[in-house]
Amino acid sequence: MKRRLPVPIEGIERRICLIRGEKVMLDADLAALYQVETKTLNRAVQRNADRFPDDFMIRPTKDELENLRYQIGTSSWGGRRYQPYASTEHGVGMLSSVLNSKRAVQVNLQIIRAFVALRETGTHKDLARKIEDLQRRQKKHSEQLRAAAGVVRSR
């Protein structure tokens, strides 16, 4: 039986950004996916602060937010009065325990799958880059061996 997904993974992947070397999602994007108001999501996080240590949930600095504007390609944040929260993959996993709805659980599964897919994509890119580097080295060594063999033959 094939289930209809609440949110396509591609739509989630576009909302994942990089802050401090961590892949994160901003509170407003998460709230939109969960179909709750951002303030509702943030209240749930604040009420359960012990579930969201610094490696689960961060607050980006103004400079980091400015960098995100360029990363995401937006010109403004819509006049927010406070710094947003940014959830890591682990923070997103914890959100389903504080947002008590079936949609939250379903969306969390999709978000976690998106994080995993991005991680695997990065791994594949790393492997491809390493293979290309090895091929370049092998070609260079082959050329050096041919040149050395030519020098030996000419003697």
Helix 102-154 and helix 27-34: axis angle, to 10°? 120
Query: CATH fold of 9-115, please?
Result: Mlu1-box Binding Protein; DNA-binding Domain (3.10.260)
* String of DSSP letters for 1-26: -PPPPSS-HHHHHTT-EEETTEEEEE
Average pLDDT of the segment spanning 16-34? 90
Alpha carbon distance 77, 44 (integer Å): 22
Give me the percent of the chain exceeding a pLDDT of 70. 79
Predicted local confidence at residue 75, as pLDDT? 45
| pLDDT tens figures, 102-130 | 888 888 888 988 888 888 776 556 666 66
Domain ranges of the chain: 9-115
Predicted local confidence at residue 140, as pLDDT? 83
Which residue type does 54 have? D
Alpha carbon distance 120, 112 (integer Å): 12
| Nearest Cα to Cα of residue 83 among 54, 63, 59, 56 | 59
Average pLDDT of the residues of the chain:
81
